């Protein structure tokens, strides 16, 4: 009740739109303008800039290697998001159902990684996953494996490290959505004769959908563009879009092709985000009381 009162007294539409002008100007200068330059650049047929056409796009879309990089990047996002969801959901549920002390403890643990740099966290994963790393040392001292396992520079390594790095982006929206679920709904379900699984499947899970959608969208977008973690843990053998882009632009100086890669990647990401957004709108309508 207090919240609705608050909402009424702070009427956002009452503010002058001109107050948003500095931010709009900033966006125009440092986001829209470069984006426009990028689009223009992607329609040059060669690095000299003499001819115009769609050859860069034709080249990317006709090249199995390039398409493979795009596919593996989008697929990487799916895997990381799935791992974050499976491990993050129970943490968020625990957070929503705990007393105040445990609640703030869980929040602290979830937020702690955000207080260190991504570079530091990624190097920590290199130490953990390396040939002489913590995991291999433990497995070997226990006699479970003869020779060290290859963990670094593998798909498993990249997914694990990315999932840890992006976990807060999944847990925070989920925790918000789950703490909004009225505990009486769970009690009502129980007293009507539903077992724990039915209560979970019919009440808790559907009502947590807005959080799942929001968390997945953030995690997905962040993990497919995570240049540092992807390249350090993936190493030279695994190539994802951000690194591919970087190589074309910086190493090969092929700016038009790099621009085309950016635009294609951007469109692919926007498509995924649009799907998530639509799902989100549907699920919010569906879960609201």
Partner 1 sequence: MSSAPIHAGRSLVVDAVSHRFGPSTALQDINLDVKGGELVALLGPSGCGKTTLLRIIAGFIAQSEGRIVIGDDVVDALPPARRAVGIVFQNYALFPHMTIAENIAYGLAARGASRTVQKETVARMLDLVKLGGFGERLPRQLSGGQQQRVALARALAIEPSILLLDEPFAALDKNLRLDMQIEVKRLQRLSGITTILVTHDQEEALSMADRVAVLSHGRLEQFATPTSIYDTPATRFVNTFVGSANELGGTVLGTDGDFLRVRLDSGGDVSVRAPGGMLSEGSRVAVCLRPEHLRIDAPGEDGFAGVVEMALPLGPTVVHEVRTGTGAALKISEPRSGGSLLRAAGTAVRISTAGPGLATAYPQTV
CA distance 76 to 238: 11
- Candidates 17-25, 76-84, 194-202, 258-266 — which segment interacts with partner 1 by CB under 8 A? 194-202
Q: Which of 7, 51, 202, 281 binds partner 1 (CB under 8 A)?
A: 202
Q: How many residues bind partner 1 (CB under 8 A)?
A: 21
Does 142 contact partner 1 by CB under 8 A?
no
Q: Between 55 and 74, how does the x/- string for binding to partner 1 read (CB under 8 A)? A: --------------------
Q: 54 or 282, CB closer to partner 1?
A: 282
Does 82 contact partner 1 by CB under 8 A?
no
CA distance 130 to 7: 52
Does 193 contact partner 1 by CB under 8 A?
yes
Q: How far is the CB of 272 from partner 1 (least distance, A)?
A: 25
- Candidates 38-46, 59-67, 202-210, 254-262 — which segment interacts with partner 1 by CB under 8 A? 202-210
Does 206 contact partner 1 by CB under 8 A?
yes
Q: 33 or 188, CB closer to partner 1?
A: 188
Q: How far is the CB of 258 from partner 1 (least distance, A)?
A: 46
Q: Which of 85, 149, 194, 273 binds partner 1 (CB under 8 A)?
A: 194
The token pair at 60 is 């990317």
Phi, psi of 50 (to 5 degrees): -85, -35
Output the 3-class SS for the chain.
CHHHHHHHHCCHHHCCHHHHHHHHHHHHHHHHHHHHHHHHHHCECCCCCCCECCHHHHHHHCCHHHHHHHHHHHHHHHHHHHHHHHHHHHHHHHHHHCCHHHHHHHHHHHHHHHHCCHHHHHHHHHHHHCCCCHHHHHHHHCCCCCCCCCCCCCHHHHHHHHHHHHHHHHHHHHHHHHHCCCHHHHHHHHHCCCCHHHHHHHHHHHHCHHHHHHHHHHHHHHHHCCHHHHHHHHCCCCCCHHHHHHHHHHHCCCHHHHHHHHHHHHHHHHHHHHHHHHHHHHHHHHHCC
Q: 7 or 198, CB closer to partner 1?
A: 198
Does 288 contact partner 1 by CB under 8 A?
yes
147-176 binders of partner 1 (CB under 8 A): none
Does 208 contact partner 1 by CB under 8 A?
no
Q: 184 or 237, CB closer to partner 1?
A: 184
Q: 5 or 14, CB closer to partner 1?
A: 5
Does 214 contact partner 1 by CB under 8 A?
no
Q: Between 229 and 258, how does the x/- string for binding to partner 1 read (CB under 8 A)? A: ------------------------------
CA distance 285 to 278: 11
Beta bridge mates, 52 = 44
Contact 179, 96 (CB under 8 A): yes
Q: Which of 52, 198, 270, 281 binds partner 1 (CB under 8 A)?
A: 198
The residues of the shown chain that bind partner 1, judged by CB under 8 A, are 182, 184-185, 187-195, 198, 202-203, 206-207, 286-289
């Amino acid at each position: 009740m207090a919240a609705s009162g608050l909402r009424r007294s702070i009427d956002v539409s009452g503010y002058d739109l001109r107050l948003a002008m500095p931010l709009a100007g900033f966006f125009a200068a440092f986001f829209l303008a470069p984006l426009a330059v990028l689009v223009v650049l992607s329609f040059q047929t060669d690095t000299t800039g003499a001819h115009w056409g769609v050859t860069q796009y034709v080249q990317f879309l006709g090249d199995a290697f390039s398409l493979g990089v795009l596919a593996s990047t989008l697929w990487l996002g799916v895997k990381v998001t799935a791992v974050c969801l499976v491990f993050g959901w129970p943490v968020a549920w625990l957070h929503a159902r705990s007393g105040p002390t445990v609640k703030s403890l869980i929040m602290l643990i979830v937020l702690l990684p955000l207080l260190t740099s991504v570079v530091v966290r990624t190097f920590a994963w290199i130490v953990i996953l390396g040939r002489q790393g913590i995991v291999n040392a433990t497995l070997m001292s226990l006699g479970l494996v003869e020779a060290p396992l290859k963990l670094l520079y593998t798909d498993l390594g990249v997914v694990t490290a990315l999932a840890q790095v992006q976990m807060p982006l999944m847990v925070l929206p989920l925790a918000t959505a789950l703490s909004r679920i009225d505990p009486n709904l769970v009690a009502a379900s129980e007293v009507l004769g539903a077992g724990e699984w039915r209560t979970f499947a019919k009440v808790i899970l559907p009502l947590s959908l807005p959080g799942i959608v929001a968390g997945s969208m953030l995690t997905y977008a962040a993990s497919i563009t995570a240049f540092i973690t992807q390249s350090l843990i993936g190493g030279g053998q695994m190539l994802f879009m951000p690194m591919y882009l970087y190589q074309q632009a910086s190493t090969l100086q092929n700016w038009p092709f790099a621009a085309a890669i950016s635009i294609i990647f951007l469109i692919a990401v926007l498509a995924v985000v649009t799907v998530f957004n639509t799902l989100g709108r549907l699920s919010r309508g569906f879960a609201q009381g």
